[in-house]
Amino acid sequence: MLNRRDFLKVSGLGLVAIGALPAVSHGQTIKGGRIMYTAKDYSKLLGTEGFSETLLKNHFTLYQGYVTNTNKLIEIFQQMAKDDKLATPEFAELKRRFGWEFDGMRLHEYYFENLGGKAAIDKNGKLAKKMVEDFGSYENWEKLFKAVGAMRGIGWTALYQDPMNGKLFNFWINEHDVGHPAGCNPILILDVFEHAFMIDYGLKRADYIAAFFKNINWAEAEKRLK
């Protein structure tokens, strides 16, 4: 059974006062359907130049925690609906938390999937051409993206495409959930939480970003472009 103490322990929810949570059994199928997410295996990234095994393995474990907590929250919401507890502060606080856990899961998937590349961007490819169109040159885009990545704070740097006009924009995402442009498509995602680099680079975030750029899977990023 998942009790409140256990949930706080695994999810880090101790930062918010959420009161008592309903008890939910793991593996229990709640009537009405349960959406489950499975953590993906990114072990193929082990051996990536500039990313130690310790750093990557720790990062995979953190990612798996977001998947676990996303599933737990979905399960809890279904149980709370069943128990007629939707008009409670506990539900409201957990619902606010859901975006953080879900985005923590999904952003790591985009990040790991746009890593592991060996080749530089294809300057004749559609992504590089779009960067030239929107930023003047690939180099201008890279300079701006790196500047966003170097900003103080924890979060993500994201290249997004606005499907309304096709334009590319670099965004700063605070933590996991604040700052996403509604309806836009993520093209390239860079994790700049300290756990993403401190084991290997200490405070030298720029060196980590340089290593990231040596390993971008540009084919994957280009596939995300509409």
Residues that bind Fe ion (CB under 5 A): 191, 193, 196
- The rounded distance, in Å, linking the Cα atoms of 189 and 113 is 9
The smaller minimum CB distance to Fe ion, of residues 191 and 222, is found at: 191
The smaller minimum CB distance to Fe ion, of residues 177 and 191, is found at: 191
The smaller minimum CB distance to Fe ion, of residues 148 and 196, is found at: 196
- The rounded distance, in Å, linking the Cα atoms of 73 and 100 is 11
The smaller minimum CB distance to Fe ion, of residues 135 and 193, is found at: 193
Least distance in angstroms from the C-beta of 59 to Fe ion: 6
Least distance in angstroms from the C-beta of 133 to Fe ion: 31
- The rounded distance, in Å, linking the Cα atoms of 169 and 160 is 5
What three-state secondary structure class fits 2? strand
Q: Report which residue's Cβ sits closest to Fe ion.
A: 191
Cα distances (Å, whole numbers) of residue 54 to 11, 33, 58, 176, 210: 22, 38, 6, 23, 19
Least distance in angstroms from the C-beta of 17 to Fe ion: 26
Least distance in angstroms from the C-beta of 176 to Fe ion: 9
- The rounded distance, in Å, linking the Cα atoms of 222 and 217 is 9
